[in-house]
Every structure is written in C-alpha cells, then in structure tokens.
C-alpha cells in the first residue's frame, strides 16, 4: 500500500528454498484436525490476566458447546497449554462423561480427549477447561525466522511519566489456541463470548460491545467485564485488548470509535474519519451488504506483530500505521488511509466470507486489497490517487514477484497441511491486479458476481471453486459474452505462475500480437494465458474487448496515417507486459513530446513500466528507450504516477553501460524539479507535489554528478528555505 503490504500485514511466507526439515516442523503446526464430525457451536471464555502483579500470569476458563455429527469416543482440538496443569471435562447436560485419557501432540498443538463412553450423533455436548499460562512480552518467533502468531502478549507504555501496560492479541493464523482451547481452523466457525478481568482504571475491548461489569470478589479495584456474543466467525478473528485509553467516536453505519492514550487521541483522527467513511461506502455502495457487527473499534498496539490486523469489530494497528500527526508528510497520510481501508475491506473478505484453508489465502487478501483501493478512493479521490496506484504501482509490485522461474501460483486447491504460500506481493498485488482485470472484461457482471459471492457465503467459508462458480452465474445472468468459461480463463492466472509479455508488430493496418511467459532467469517455458485486452490509437477511442487465446492473433486496425501511435492495454487493466517494436516507441515518444496529456497519467506510467521490463528481460535493446532523452517530455512531466514508471525505467538503464545516459537524464530530471518548485512558489502546491519532488530528489541523489551545483541553484535554495514548507523541509533534511 505507496504502501508495502508485505511489511504491514501479517502473513506467513513459506519459501521453496527452506530445508525439508524446517518445512516439516512448520507444517506440523497446520496439521488438520482428524475429527471432521465435530462442529463447535459457541465458546464462553473467561480470562483473568493478572498483569505485572503476578508476573503476567493469566487464568482461564473455557466452555465450548459442540455438535456431534458422527458418533465418536475421541474429541481432538487445539491447545497450547500444559496438559498437566489443565482441568478437562466433557459434559452432557451437566453430567460428566468419564475421560479415559488425554493425548497431547506438542508439535501440532492437538489435544485428544479419549472417552470411556461414546458421544452420540446429532447431540450437543460441552467441553470445559480450566488452565493458566504466562503472557509473553516479546514477539513469538522461532529459530527459523518464520513469524508465528503470538496469541496474547503485553507491551509497556508511558503517558505523562506514568507507566502502564497494554495486553493485546494476534491470532491469525494459528494463535487463538494460545489463549483458549479451541478448534483453531478457519472453517470451524462459532459464536464467542468473552468475560475479561482487569483493573478498574483499564479499559477492556473485545470484538463486540460490553454488556456487564461487576467487581471481582476479594480483589479490590478489579472488575469482570462481559461482552456480547459475536456473530459466527473464525477463531483467528477473535481479539481483545486491555489498556488505559480514551475514546472518540464518529457516526457511521454503526458506532465507529478509535481508542488511544489521551496524548495521542488527536493523532487518531485521520483513521477515525477515513475509517467511518470507508466502512459505510464499502458496505452500502460497493458490496450492497451493510457491515453486520454492532460496532467498530480501532486501536493502536505498540510493536503489533502483524502491523495491522482485521479482527472483526476490533482492528489493531501498530503505532506507525495508525497515528498521523501534523508534522508527518502526505505520503504517511496516504499510508494511514490505505491501511485503514484495507483492514475495513477485510470485514467482508476474510471475516464475513472466510477462506476454507490457508492455501487459498488470496480469497482473503487479494479481494481485500482490490476493494481497499476503492474504499480509500471514496474517502479522498484527490490526495491519494488510489485507483491510479492500483493500476500502476500495485500491479507492478505483482509483476516484480512473478517474473522468475521459481515464482509460485497465487493459490492452490490443497486442503490438507501441505501448503506452500507464495510471497506477499503475489497474493496481495497480483491478486488485486487480477480483480482489476476481471472488472475490465466483465463490466457490470463483475459487481453482480462479487455481491452474490458475499451474500451467498456470508458467515460461511469459500473455496476457489465457489468463487469461480458464483462469478459464472453472474456472467450468465447478465448475458456477458466470453470466449470460454470464467473458470477456464482464470485458471491460467490462478494455478499457473508468471506474467505474460505480449509483443506487438505492425504491418500497415495489420497488427500481430504474440504472447509468452515473461521470465528474467530463463527461456519461455510454454506457459500461456487467455488474455483480454483493449487498444487505442491516436485517431480512435479505446477499442472494444479483444482476446489473445493462443500464442498469436491478428487485429485489423484503422490507422489514419503511418504516424498514428498504438497502445495495447493502455490503462493497465489486464495482467500483462506489452512489448512494442522500436518504430512504435518512436511514435509514442513523439506524442509525449508534442502533448503528453493525450495520454492520462496511468497510460504514461504504463508505457515506461512495460518498457523497463522488456529491456530488463533482454527482449529489446536499451537503445530503444534513449530517444525519449532527445525530447522535452521529461522536463514537462510533473505527475507522480507517471514519474514512478519513468524512474523504474531509469533504474533499469542505470544497470547498463550507456555513454552519457546518466548525465542527460539527471539534467532533465533537474529541470522538472526546478519547474515543480517554481510552480509551488506561485501557487499553493498540490499535496502530491511533495511526492513528485521527493521522488526526483532521491533519484538525483543516486548520482553525485553535478548534484552540488543543483543544491546551490536559486530555485532549490528558495524552496528549501521557505518557512511554510516545514514538513517538506524536514523530509529533505532526512534525505540529505
């Protein structure tokens, strides 16, 4: 998100380069429960964390109602607690059923309760546990370097010289078992009620509103706070916090609140206002399914291990992604808006409709990432250029993780513990780009299908096949014409790795397009895709939808003259890299010089992004890009979105020995920077002005050539010295 989701969102990355031993140890944590015939219905959990008064001891009670589908004498669930220090009972209408023995597999956290009597099918029973554990402070990482869900943890904070503590949780994806015994798999949804013990000066929060607060017997100044039952949900979304905080609320579809220490509450205003708007926009406009929980709370937790976590009704953030102060730059404002929108989009994708198993993580994260851009754009369609970023920076981050022969598919149809996740940019960024492509070739059928998907699988779990079939039903209902079924089209992108590159060759009015898989580290491996695309020329509007279904296809294009330019996939809707021949680039560069506004910012960025990849991959000589230096275009370009594409091309060219390239490019970048500063002297600068200047400056700093001369120029001296640019000034001082 210009967010790096992989740095901000908790996800578990399993690399192919890991040793077999490490993979085996990790996969044991994901071993599926054996008893498919037992369904949890509800949990009633009572936790009393004694905090520092008893060295962070927590005492717990957990009562689980289960429904038995098939008669059994074995109940297996997850628990991370010492069995020798745990009391376990199985009850039938209050009567205890004798337990033969307990078997505990520490590697998989699976506790098996073997009974002397059979549990009969179609009956409800109760599992009752009492236990205790020590709440850790530090992030729970193992020696392999892989992140493991923390469960419950504590942090020390300070407010006006007074020390206080925060207790919080991070249960995705297998951390709930560290707080209470449970069936800790995403498809085993249930209702949850928590009662939390705490000192009276502390505020406890849970997924739902509180219903009752009573004194703890024989413990002065300690209270029990009980919360409402949740809706049906997965264990990994359960959350609570205990801290000393104050509250501010905004109206939305439900009470929408932020919690923070008094001194920081004002810095939570951006997340509060953006979040309240996004929650309503996503539910009422984009998904036509209003947010179903009775409240939404946001809170920051220092050094939160996930960066941000979408717990239903209680989203937790690390400080850096939540608080936005008056002295922080616009780029941070955009970061907070986008992260907030991302976690709120999860309330539908992940929370309401949940993946069935972790091998299909894209059903949570890709869907969320795509809709988070729309949510953020609905709040501010000027500042962030969020949709432009979706089409450009977001998609490119997917490409950059998808161009090696070792790249993995975005998902799998594996439902056992043998799971290997691709990296985060594949899931988040490629996934969002695929949704953008679906919207491009489906139009209104996409919205119909997504709304139907949410409505059909609300409070349930979904698989890849469920999504594909629901979308096909919407396509049929709308009468949308496709060259194959939706499943056949999407399978190539979902279950095959890689990004296609499409070469474009003109011969008068005939345009030949050819595809192959783009690889930086090897030859074409024969992978092919069903590719939707549109095109436009200098004398025509955007074309209707075209398809490249095999290796090659031909288009008949009505060019008004030999000088007409052609853009394939101009707005980056389809997941593809486009490679033009050198003559086409000459025509495109000529248009950029004469009037670059004929292309919108996304189109300009796409031209340079695609060119950077085909040069990097050795498909074109770098000389093809050099004529742009002979134009005045770079000196005129002031849009940050376009410059992101230009700068990627620049960084590729910098890896190649090209005489005089660096000096010429930097001189033109300096002119653009001078112009940006001069414009800001005469007009209040657009907020994104600073992003453009900083990007240019950081590029210039990559080279020491002539930079001291630039720093001494009047334009730069005047800009950096203006008191009104205090934020800009601080950012420059950090760079310099």
Q: Does the pLDDT of residue 736 top 70, yes or no?
A: no
Gap between the Cα atoms of 98 and 114, Å rounded: 9
User: How do residues 81-93 score in pLDDT, each as one tens digit?
Assistant: 999 989 999 999 9
User: What percent of the chain clears pLDDT 70, i.e. is strictly above it?
Assistant: 85
The residues pairing with 188 across neighbouring beta strands, listed in sequence order, are: none
What letter would DSSP give residue 695? H
Question: Phi/psi at 580 (nearest 5 deg)?
Answer: -90, 165
- pLDDT of res. 513: 98
Q: Does the pLDDT of residue 296 top 50, yes or no?
A: yes
Any idea which of 205-214, 269-278, 411-420 has the lowest mean pLDDT? 411-420
Q: Domain 1-244, what fold? A: Immunoglobulin-like (2.60.40)
Gap between the Cα atoms of 322 and 357, Å rounded: 29
Q: Is 658 exposed, middle or buried (0-12, 13-18, 19+ CB in 10 A)?
A: middle
Q: Where are the beta strands (DSSP E) in 286-407?
A: 296-300, 308-309, 314-317, 353-355
- pLDDT of res. 676: 75
- pLDDT of res. 423: 63
The CATH 1.10.390.10 domain(s) of the chain lie at: 353-495
The answer to whether 229 and 209 have CB atoms below 8 angstroms apart is no
Q: What is the pTM of this model?
A: 0.90
Residue 365 marked in a binding site: yes
The CATH 2.60.40.1730 domain(s) of the chain lie at: 1-244
Gap between the Cα atoms of 30 and 173, Å rounded: 9
Give the CATH class of 559-567+578-735. Answer: mainly alpha
User: Superfamily assignment of 353-495 in CATH?
Assistant: Neutral Protease Domain 2 (1.10.390.10)
Helices then strands, counting H and E runs in the chain, come out as 21, 30
Q: Does the pLDDT of residue 430 top 70, yes or no?
A: yes
Assigned CATH for 245-327: 3.30.2010.30
User: How do residues 387-403 score in pLDDT, each as one tens digit?
Assistant: 888 888 888 888 998 99
Q: Does the pLDDT of residue 652 top 50, yes or no?
A: yes
Choosing from 267, 320, 343, 695, the catalytic residue is: 343
Gap between the Cα atoms of 393 and 399, Å rounded: 10
What is the separation of C-alpha 208 from the centre of its chain, rounded to a whole number of angstroms?
24
User: How do residues 153-211 score in pLDDT, each as one tens digit?
Assistant: 999 999 889 999 999 999 998 999 999 999 999 999 999 999 999 999 999 999 999 99
Gap between the Cα atoms of 155 and 318, Å rounded: 12
Residue 346 marked in a binding site: yes
User: How do residues 168-183 score in pLDDT, each as one tens digit?
Assistant: 999 998 999 999 999 9
Residue 356 appears among annotated catalytic residues:
no
- pLDDT of res. 700: 57
User: How do residues 675-715 score in pLDDT, each as one tens digit?
Assistant: 877 776 656 555 555 566 666 665 555 544 444 444 444 44
Gap between the Cα atoms of 436 and 428, Å rounded: 12
Structure tokens at 80: 């991370």
Residue 686 marked in a binding site: no
Residue 449: closest CA among 430, 427, 429, 469: 469
Residue 372: closest CA among 641, 5, 12: 5
- pLDDT of res. 677: 73
Q: Does the pLDDT of residue 411 top 50, yes or no?
A: yes
User: How do residues 450-502 score in pLDDT, each as one tens digit?
Assistant: 999 999 999 999 999 999 999 999 999 999 999 999 999 999 999 999 999 99
In angstroms, what CA-CA distances link 31 with 110, 149, 151, 432? Answer: 9, 16, 18, 29
- pLDDT of res. 6: 35
Gap between the Cα atoms of 532 and 437, Å rounded: 8
Residue for token digits 């506790």?
Answer: 111
The CATH 3.30.2010.30 domain(s) of the chain lie at: 245-327
Q: Does the pLDDT of residue 601 top 70, yes or no?
A: yes
The answer to whether 242 and 152 have CB atoms below 8 angstroms apart is no
Burial of 394-410, coded b for 16+ CB within 10 Å and e otherwise, reads: bbbbbbbbbbeeebbbb
- Tell me which of 399 and 415 has the higher pLDDT: 399
């Amino acid at each position: 998100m210009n967010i790096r989701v992989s740095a901000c969102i908790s996800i578990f990355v399993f690399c192919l380069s890991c040793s077999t031993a490490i993979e085996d140890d990790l996969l044991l944590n994901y071993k599926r429960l054996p008893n498919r015939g037992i369904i949890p219905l509800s949990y009633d959990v009572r936790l009393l964390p004694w905090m520092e008064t008893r060295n962070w001891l927590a005492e717990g009670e957990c009562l689980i109602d289960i429904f038995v589908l098939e008669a059994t004498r074995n109940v297996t669930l997850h628990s991370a607690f010492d069995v020798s220090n745990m009391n376990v009972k199985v009850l039938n209408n209050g009567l205890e059923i004798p337990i033969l023995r307990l078997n505990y597999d520490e590697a998989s956290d699976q506790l098996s309760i073997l009974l002397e009597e059979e549990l009969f099918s179609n009956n409800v029973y109760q599992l009752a546990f009492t236990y205790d554990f020590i709440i850790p402070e530090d992030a729970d990482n193992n020696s392999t370097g892989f992140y493991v869900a923390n469960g419950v943890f504590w942090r020390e904070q300070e407010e006006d010289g007074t020390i206080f503590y925060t207790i919080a949780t991070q249960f995705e994806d297998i951390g709930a078992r560290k707080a209470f015994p449970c069936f800790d798999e995403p498809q085993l949804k249930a209702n949850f009620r928590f009662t939390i013990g705490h000192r009276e000066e502390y505020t406890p929060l849970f997924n739902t509103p509180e219903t009752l607060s009573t004194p703890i017997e024989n413990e002065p100044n300690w209270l029990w706070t009980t919360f409402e039952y949740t809706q049906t949900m997965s264990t990994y979304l359960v959350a609570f916090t205990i801290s000393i905080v104050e509250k501010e609320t905004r109206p939305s579809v439900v009470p929408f609140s932020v919690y923070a220490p008094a001194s920081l509450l004002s810095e939570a205003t951006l997340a509060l206002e953006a979040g309240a708007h996004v929650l309503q926009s996503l539910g009422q406009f984009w998904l036509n399914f209003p947010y179903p929980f009775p409240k939404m709370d946001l809170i920051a937790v220092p050094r939160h291990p996930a960066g941000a976590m979408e717990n239903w009704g209680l989203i937790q953030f690390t400080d850096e992604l939540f608080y936005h102060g008056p002295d922080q730059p616009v780029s941070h404002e955009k970061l907070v808006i986008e992260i907030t929108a991302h976690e709120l989009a999860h309330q539908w994708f992940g929370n309401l409709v949940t993946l069935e198993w972790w091998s299909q993580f894209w059903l949570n994260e890709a869907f969320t990432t795509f809709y988070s851009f729309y949510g953020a754009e609905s709040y501010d369609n000027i500042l962030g250029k969020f949709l432009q970023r979706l089409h450009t920076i977001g998609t490119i981050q997917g490409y950059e993780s998808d161009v090696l022969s070792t790249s993995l598919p975005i998902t799998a149809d594996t439902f056992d513990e043998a799971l290997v996740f691709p990296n985060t940019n594949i899931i988040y960024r490629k996934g969002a780009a695929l949704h953008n492509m679906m919207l491009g070739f489906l139009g209104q059928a996409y919205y119909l299908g997504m709304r139907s998907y949410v409505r059909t699988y609300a409070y349930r779990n979904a698989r890849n096949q469920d999504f594909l079939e629901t979308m096909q039903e919407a396509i049929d209902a709308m009468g949308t014409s496709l060259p194959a079924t939706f499943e056949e089209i999407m399978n190539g992108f979902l279950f095959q790795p890689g990004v296609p590159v499409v070469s474009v060759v003109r011969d008068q009015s005939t345009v030949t397009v050819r595809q192959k898989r783009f690889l930086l580290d090897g030859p074409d491996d024969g992978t092919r895709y069903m590719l939707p695309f549109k095109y436009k020329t200098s004398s025509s509007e955007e074309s209707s939808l075209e398809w490249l279904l095999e290796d090659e296809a031909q288009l008949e294009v009505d060019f008004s003259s030999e000088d007409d330019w052609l853009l394939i996939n101009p707005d980056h809707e389809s997941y593809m890299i486009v490679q033009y021949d050198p003559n086409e680039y000459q025509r495109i560069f000529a248009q950029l010089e004469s009037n670059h506004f004929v292309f919108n910012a996304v189109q300009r960025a796409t031209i340079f992004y695609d060119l950077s990849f085909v040069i990097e991959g050795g498909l074109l000589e770098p000389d093809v890009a050099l004529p742009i230096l002979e134009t005045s275009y770079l000196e005129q370009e002031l849009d940050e979105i376009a410059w992101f594409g230009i700068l990627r091309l620049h960084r590729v060219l910098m890896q190649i020995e090209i005489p005089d390239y660096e000096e010429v490019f930097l001189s033109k970048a300096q002119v653009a920077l001078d112009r940006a500063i001069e414009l800001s002297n005469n007009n209040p600068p657009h907020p994104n002005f600073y992003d453009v200047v900083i990007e240019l400056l950081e590029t210039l700093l990559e080279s020491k050539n002539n930079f001291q001369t630039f720093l001494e120029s009047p334009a730069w001296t005047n800009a950096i010295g203006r008191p009104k640019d205090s934020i800009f000034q601080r950012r420059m001082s950090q760079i310099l």
